[in-house]
Amino acid sequence: MSFAAPFPAPFGATPSGLPVERWTLRSASGVEAAVLTYGAVLHSLRVPGPERRPPAEVVLSLPDVKHYATHGAYLGAVVGRFANRIAAGAFTLGGTRHHIPGNDRGNSLHGGTDGFDRRLWRAEPCERPDGAASVRLSLDSPHGDQGFPGSLQVSVTYTLASDGSLTLDYHAVTDRPTPVNLTHHAYFNLSGNPDRGVLDHLLTVDAAAYLPIDETGLPLPGAPAPVAGSPFDFTRARRIGARIAEPDEQLSRAGGYDHCWVLDDRDRPSGDGELDLRRAARLEDPGSGRVLEVHTSEPGLQVYAGQQLDGGFGDLLGRRLGAHSGLCLETQHFPDSPNRPDYPSTVLRPDQALRSRTVLGFPHLTAVAR
């Protein structure tokens, strides 16, 4: 079956005056996605409800590039060169100390003060044998960019399949060793209405352990902590808001959930070439019946419940985006990995290529199709 090819449309300009494009992808299932060349932002993801109910916007979005350039919440963006935090914005690699601009309580967050979320990416449509709509966005990050060593060529490819699933394929190569940790920072709200928030959404996270944090959001020394018996136990579906206000030290340090879960390896399917995907999370909105499942090749999942959204800006319809308007499910490597030899390495070397995949699936649509 063939689908309409992705197509671009003008979407304003960057603060420096460079034109920004908005690429639209459509699927036979009724799902529609739109991607900006600014920040590789997922600007829209419209998903029907069960039984072919009308589609609704399930990611938080902003009305123009100016808002994306100034808001600071990374809405829908691809973040890097290193997602999450690096302690004190510094690490040693090959005997050399490297310094990244601090932008979060003395640490560097999501690549520093001028990360990939604020860059203009190049876009090109991708032809696929199955005819699925696909667009690749590419970016060149020079040696010394935000203090990181090595020139890095990075791309993310968005592909919308016939069943409505949206796949994000990351690829990167470098000319010298450098840490790389890429993730996607969409805020999901399956109800389609940010005013309702996500505290009544049901969340399942396929992880028996998580990384406790200090007062600055960095993982504490030592092994991951078991989730059993704690407010971090989402091994079975539970309301996000069920225990978020409990007097727990970890919840207090983050103002809620903003922690990395260590994904289980159990029941991890194989057969996808070099990339083995595991389910990371399932998100359900009982009101609309929409369901999101996240599968990934990454070892961790940062769950952020959007508590720092303060209503200071509005979405496409002018609705204010306040605390818990959306939930982030960020597939990634562990925070501060360049300073933690006990974590899986994030160092990319010239004789390697980074490949990573995350799939956003909507099983309520698949069930209808059957």
Beta strands per DSSP E along 243-324: 258-262, 278-284, 291-296, 300-304
Is residue 330 part of the annotated active site? The answer reads: yes
Kindly calculate the radius of gyration of the chain based on its CA atoms and give it in whole angstroms: 19
Encoding tokens for residue 308? Answer: 């720092």
Is residue 324 part of the annotated active site? The answer reads: no
HSE-CB for 369 with a 13 A CA cutoff: 12
- Identify the bridge partners of residue 332 per DSSP, sorted by sequence position: 300
Given 32, 57, 284, 330, which residue is catalytic? 330
Given 43, 110, 184, 185, which residue is catalytic? 185
* Distance of alpha carbon 244 from alpha carbon 171, whole angstroms: 36
Burial class (CB in 10 A: 0-12, 13-18, 19+), 107: buried
Instruction: Provide the phi-psi class of 131: left if phi over 0, else alpha when psi is between -120 and 50, else beta.
Output: left
* Distance of alpha carbon 102 from alpha carbon 106, whole angstroms: 5
- Whether 14 and 120 have beta carbons less than 8 Å apart is answered as yes
Transcribe 163-211 into DSSP letters: TS-EEEEEEEEESS-EE-B-EE--EE-TTS-GGG-STTSEEEE--SEEE
* Distance of alpha carbon 143 from alpha carbon 275, whole angstroms: 28
Residue among 102, 81, 79, 98 nearest 339 (CA): 98
Residues carrying an active site annotation: 185, 330
